[in-house]
Structure 1
Amino acid sequence: MQETAIHPAIAALMKDQRPSLKLVIGNKNYSSWSMRPWVVMRAFGIPFEEIRILLGQGDTTSKIADYSLAGKVPVLIANEHVIWDSLAICEYLAEQFSILNLWPQDVLARAHARSICAEMHSGFSSLRFDMPMNIKGRFPGKGRTMGAQADIGRICEIWEDCLARYGAHGYLFGAFSIADAYFAPVVMRFRTYGVALAPALEAYADRVIAHPAVAHWIHGAEMETETLPMHDARIERQGE
């Protein structure tokens, strides 16, 4: 378990009364959905207690059920309230900590950011299945099904469009936002599977990797000793 440093604006706003937030996550090496809200909270200095549940274990389901009957991570416990969907968690945080501007401030840019996050949330099934997140792994060329290639192409279109319209400061909508956190696991996949990107997109991916919150998650993944053998074996068998 760990907590983030409190953002000064939150400390002043709350007058030293820290919000009681707990974020239940899976393995940092594998759990792409857990990564998204964790990175948001870390990036914006929102204090939380981390609870990590190992995936793929005999007691995984029962341990997650202690926090959410939906049976999946991440789960945010906000006082007595349970929020069990990554996008819902991010929306809750954006509303509760509006002073931090987790979404872009411009109304049209904000709608655009929400649109691409919703597309990421509900789409790209081939990329998810054929190129699952494994931060420590390196599988260049694996998982390149037709569906995954189509998903990669669409993601590149999204990044190119956002960077051209809004990315004056290097991220999809200028300053780092929920949108960048939402695509951070995709950046991890592209690195793991050796996806070649256009120079501007490669530079964007490098900036995401270098962001302190993302770098902290990567470090945590690299320190993990637990593995999911069946998960890793499926990747290794691809293309045989």
Structure 2
Amino acid sequence: MYQLFIANKNYSSWSLRPWLLLTQLDIPFTEQLQQFAANNYHNFRSFSPTGKVPCLHDGDVVVWESLAIVEYLAERHPGVWPQDAVARNFARSACSEMHAGFGTLRSVCTMNCGVRVALQDPPAALAKELQRLDELWQQGLQQFGGPFLAGTDFSAVDAFFAPVAFRIQSYGLQLSAPAMAYVQQLLQLPAMQRWYEAALDESWREVSHEAEIGNYGRVVADYRRL
């Protein structure tokens, strides 16, 4: 059985992507959760060659990048990518864009599932990236009919944008009506709700991740239970 090494569910957007894909597609795996902490790089190196998460183990095979994990799973399981060639091309392109881009969104609206944040003077580049995000989502929803980005079924492209749904919820970001409906579609997935509830139950805090919020905003609500 696969072992998926992830970090704190409250913070780790990259961990969410393969976790959600495996869970949503009912692919059996064992979760190995490691806490983010100062000087934990060497501990992470014990299972990941980069000292980062996510990292997938399949027996002696180690796959340590989220896109590589997706492709590894796609070779072994149906449903990771859409069957339709046009939809599959869109999904792969959108995943690659998410993987490599949206740097301002990542840095300004860091993932912290359990809080709600009021942004204060965000950089202008954030609005440009949100406009592009909205455009991309509407393209997929309109071209392939929804309710997911590449058609009727959940696939890897939805897993890659799932952390953005949590960011939109946490920071009160506003997009077009179709894009916001898609956010709700993701947030209401049972697997997403499982992740969210587990994030709220985490008792540990990582100082640097908490401090990042103060760069561009202030916490107005904290729903974490511990």
Say yes or no: TM over 0.5.
yes
Once the 2 structures are TM-superposed, how far is the Cα of residue 74 of structure 1 from its aligned partner?
0.3
| Cα distance, 1:146–1:131 mapped onto 2, change above 3 Å | same
Once residues 82 and 128 of structure 1 are traced to their aligned partners in structure 2, the CA distance between those partners, rounded to angstroms, is: 27
In the alignment, does 2:17 pair up with 1:56? Answer: no
Q: Equivalent of 1:172, from 135, 149, 173?
A: 149
SS at structure 1 position matched to 2:115: coil
For 1:93, the equivalent position in structure 2 comes to 73
1:201-220 equivalences in 2 (<5 Å): 201-220=179-198
CA RMSD, aligned part only? 1.5
Once residues 138 and 45 of structure 1 are traced to their aligned partners in structure 2, the CA distance between those partners, rounded to angstroms, is: 31
In the alignment, does 2:147 pair up with 1:157? Answer: no
Q: Equivalent of 1:194, from 145, 165, 172?
A: 172
For 1:16, the equivalent position in structure 2 comes to none
SS at structure 2 position matched to 1:96: coil
Runs of 4+ in 1 over 2 A off after TM superposition: 140-144, 236-240
Once the 2 structures are TM-superposed, how far is the Cα of residue 180 of structure 1 from its aligned partner?
0.6
* Partners of 2:5 and 2:33 within 8 A in 1: yes
| Cα distance, 1:31–1:137 mapped onto 2, change above 3 Å | same
For 2:95, the equivalent position in structure 1 comes to 117
Aligned residues: 217
SS at structure 1 position matched to 2:192: helix
SS at structure 1 position matched to 2:116: coil
1:11-26 equivalences in 2 (<5 Å): 20-26=1-7
| Cα distance, 1:47–1:143 mapped onto 2, change above 3 Å | farther
Q: Percent of pairs identical after alignment?
A: 39
Once the 2 structures are TM-superposed, how far is the Cα of residue 234 of structure 1 from its aligned partner?
2.7
Give a deviation string over 1:178-209, Cα, whole Å, max 9, x none.
11110000111111110012222111100100
* Partners of 1:166 and 1:173 within 8 A in 2: yes
Once the 2 structures are TM-superposed, how far is the Cα of residue 164 of structure 1 from its aligned partner?
0.5
In the alignment, does 2:27 pair up with 1:46? Answer: yes
Once the 2 structures are TM-superposed, how far is the Cα of residue 149 of structure 1 from its aligned partner?
1.8
Amino acid at match of 2:156: I
* Partners of 1:26 and 1:73 within 8 A in 2: yes
Once residues 110 and 160 of structure 2 are traced to their aligned partners in structure 1, the CA distance between those partners, rounded to angstroms, is: 15
Once residues 110 and 189 of structure 2 are traced to their aligned partners in structure 1, the CA distance between those partners, rounded to angstroms, is: 22
For 1:28, the equivalent position in structure 2 comes to 9
* Partners of 1:143 and 1:235 within 8 A in 2: no
TM-score normalized by the length of structure 1: 0.86
Structure whose residues are more often strand by fraction: 2
Q: Point out which structure has higher relative CO (alpha carbons under 8 A, 6+ apart).
A: 2
* Partners of 1:135 and 1:192 within 8 A in 2: yes
Once residues 177 and 131 of structure 2 are traced to their aligned partners in structure 1, the CA distance between those partners, rounded to angstroms, is: 15
